[in-house]
Amino acid sequence: MNAITHTDIDRNPFKKRCVFWISCLFLFISHLNTQSQPIIQTIAQHHTKETFYSTPIRTSSGVVVAASHHRQIRFFDASGNLINSYKTKCWIHATAAQLSDETVGICSYDKHLYFFSERGDFLEKIKFKGRIFTNPVELGGNLVFGCNKRLAFYDRTTKEISYLHLKGLVHGSPMITSDSMLVVGSNGKCLYFINADREIVYTFRTKGWIMHSKPCETFDGQIVFGSYDRHLYAVDRSGNLLWKYKTKGRIHGSPIQMPDRSIVFGSFDGNVYILSAEGTLINKVKTGKKVVASPAVVNDSLFVIGSYDKNLYFITSKGEPVATYKAEGKIFSSPVVLSDGMVFVCTTNGRIYFIAGQMICMSTIISYL
């Protein structure tokens, strides 16, 4: 058979079209084999001599609030520039919260709840009876948070303070269900369901501390949380067990539910787990060391989570690792995803990062041709 020359192709439109489509097919197959190559870029970073345990937040206007074990509260703009800071009198392990009036509230081990404007201007502070470990949530006109072995209720209008005593320290933040039930765990190995009248109506017992695992309400109304007894639990609104999943390590952080209904969390056994809404294993991703942090949703099918191996992992809801970002310290604090997809994360040795991920794919040269 005679070879096809460039001249033949130029003179024969049919042959030219065949070569074109064969080339497109070859490029498409090459693209599938190569797959997408992620590029993670550092947009801004700050070096401090502090330790970060508290999870940062993003306010409605894009300000990032991060607090450290070394008493500092920092406010950054969306470009990573420091715009304000404030120093308390003791450690901060609690996560800040933006309240309904747009102010920012954050609690400290110095027994105070601090209030700031969204850009970090100090407004006031209120003293309570014990160290405060959790973020405040709003329920029926009150701010509610863990305060030693109590829940504190603070009415910002009347300034009235009251307490509900629980068994064990309340390290994990409370959450409000869709029907206004307050749910919180404690180191007393108990999950509490509390109504609007501040009455404990249901409890659920575990065999280990419920440390910083804030309960998560799923789309179908399950309450999911982790315990130091190595289990992730799902209970109904009356505190009845629906299912549980056992890992090989303590569960410190909070689970999340992805838009496809999968449930994601990390464990001290070094794995990131992806479960179905019914509690069956979909997949797990092994990291180099324990996973203390909670995951954060990046988009409908992607989440990000940090590990003590100093890596930030980008993983699909099917359990497929997409990219990693190497930090310069262990990651205890959970990452936060900003409105433009940028990710903010802090480390235990004082590194603060604003990073952005971009999937660089091979062009389909078909459109170019």
Write the secondary structure of the chain as one string of H (helix), E (strand) and C (coil). Answer: CCCCCHHHHHHCHHHHHHHHHHHHHHHHHHHHHHCCEEEEEEEEEEECCCCCCCCCEECCCCCEEEECCCCEEEEECCCCCEEEEEECCCCCCCCCEECCCCCEEEECCCCEEEEECCCCCEEEEEECCCCECCCCEEECCEEEEEECCEEEEEECCCCCEEEEECCCCCCCCCEECCCCCEEEEECCCEEEEECCCCCEEEEEECCCCCCCCCCEECCCCCEEEECCCCEEEEECCCCCEEEEEECCCCCCCCCEECCCCCEEEECCCCEEEEECCCCCEEEEEECCCCCCCCCEEEECCEEEEECCCCEEEEEECCCCEEEEEECCCCCCCCCEECCCCCEEEECCCCEEEEEEEEEECCCCCCCCC
Model pLDDT, residue 11:
52
* pLDDT per position as a tens digit, 9-51: 445 555 544 544 554 455 444 444 445 556 789 999 999 999 9
* pLDDT per position as a tens digit, 229-288: 999 999 999 999 999 999 999 999 999 999 999 999 999 999 999 999 999 999 999 999
Mean pLDDT of the chain: 89
**Taking 90 as the threshold, does the pLDDT of residue 328 lie above it?**
yes
Model pLDDT, residue 357:
72
Domains of the chain: 1-34 (no CATH), 38-50+247-369 (2.130.10.10)
Model pLDDT, residue 339:
83
363 pLDDT band (50/70/90 cuts)? very low
Dihedral angle sign, alpha carbons of residues 303, 204, 161, 94: negative
Arithmetic mean of pLDDT, 356-365: 44
369 pLDDT band (50/70/90 cuts)? very low
What's the CA gap between 295 and 69, in Å, rounded?
21
Model pLDDT, residue 4:
44
* pLDDT per position as a tens digit, 130-162: 999 999 999 988 999 999 999 999 999 999 999
- Residue 181: CB atoms within 10 A of its CB come to 18
Model pLDDT, residue 22:
55
**Percentage with pLDDT > 90 across the chain:** 84
* pLDDT per position as a tens digit, 160-217: 999 999 999 999 999 999 999 999 999 999 999 999 999 999 999 999 999 999 999 9
Q: What's the pTM value of the predicted model, to 2 decimals?
A: 0.86
